[in-house]
Amino acid sequence: MFKKILLFLLVVLIAIQFIHPAKNQSGGAQPNYIGNAFSMPQDVKLIMEKACNDCHSNNTVYPWYSRLQPVDWWMNNHVVDGKKHLNFDEYTNRNLRYQYHKLEEIAEQVKEGEMPMDSYTWMHKDAKLSPAEKEKLINWADAMRDTMKAHYPIDSLVRKK
pLDDT tens for 34-80 read 999 889 999 999 999 999 999 999 999 998 988 889 989 988 988 99
| Integer angstrom CA distances of residue 157 from 30, 86, 149, 152, 160 | 24, 17, 7, 8, 9
* Element containing residue 59 per DSSP (H, E): none
- The predicted model scores a pTM of 0.84
Phi-psi region of 119 (alpha: psi -120 to 50; beta: other; left: phi over 0): alpha
Note the pLDDT of residue 153. 78
Cα distance between residue 58 and residue 76, in whole Å: 12
Contact, 159 vs 95, CB < 8 A?
Answer: no
